[in-house]
Amino acid sequence: MKVMKKINNNIALCVDDHHRELIAVGTGIGFKQCPYEIENLDTIQRTFYDVDPMYYNLLNEISVEVLEVAARIVDIARLKIESELSPNVVFTLADHINFAIERIKKNIHIQTPLYNDIQHLYETEFNLGETAVKMIQQSMKVKLPKGEACNIAMHFVNAETISSISRQMPNSDEVIEEIIEMIGAYFQIHIDRNSFNYSRFVSHLLYLLKRQDKADSISSENRTMFVYVKEQYPKTYECVLNIRDYLMNEMNWTLNDEELLYLMLHINRLCARADCHR
């Protein structure tokens, strides 16, 4: 196996003996000057094939420990879920776990009102979520709240259904593009449409639109967090109000406070990333 490009000290872009490109994880494999041959393959802990290049930068934001626990969770999921999972699901799950751990460290706790519904409607995915929470606690020594099992379950549910949303909502691309334009104009930033962060944000938007299209809004149980984020990020709140008004005028959809909170958190995250250029 030949290391072609360093991603970070422990992750690199490689080519195997069959000339297939892959991402390899191994202690120190990014230290040497590239390209070079890996003489001892026992140093490689994980390999990932068919990875979309937009996820490469993400690997600099999450630790090898988070990536490894996400990979082990997905290993189990592939045995439990009948639908084919994307080769990129490890990286989106790792990103989700990393964000959940960040929230815990900042003492940000968000209620999960659909907990009971998801527990019964998506039994396989919910059981995976519970298993994942236990694995994260054992591996990362971080105790996630009970509701995180539901959030991880929904991560897998979304991974199974997200590709069908555009077919169910023919105008979803136009709505999403308008919202992205509104965010870019309001914060005076350029949002890279080819980046992982854009893809991640669009996935969150699709989930929100899917809920609205099914008239599946949820009553807010995060009032305290909503008030806190609204006060801490007034510009983001103003931007979200513009999006709310747009969806009301164009789609006759109403966003409740919890959905506004959801949007504020993810807009803040999108705008804080390096691929949004002011």
From the number of C-beta atoms within 10 Å of its C-beta (0-12, 13-18, 19+), residue 49 rates as exposed
Structure tokens at 48: 């990932």
How many C-beta atoms lie closer than 10 Å to residue 34's C-beta? 14
Question: What is the DSSP pairing of strand 190-191 with strand 46-49?
Answer: unpaired
Q: Mean pLDDT per 10-residue run, the chain (278 residues)? A: 92 93 92 89 90 84 92 93 82 90 82 70 88 94 88 78 50 84 91 75 74 57 79 93 92 85 86 57
Residue with tokens 């494999």: 29
User: What residues does 15 pair with on adjacent strands?
Assistant: 2, 21
- Global pTM value: 0.62
Please report the domains of the chain, with CATH numbers, ordered by start residue.
1-49 (2.30.24.10), 50-165 (1.10.1790.10), 169-277 (1.10.1790.10)
* Whole-angstrom distance, CA of residue 75 vs CA of residue 53: 21
> Residue 192: its pLDDT value, please?
81
Residue 20 is predicted with a pLDDT of: 94
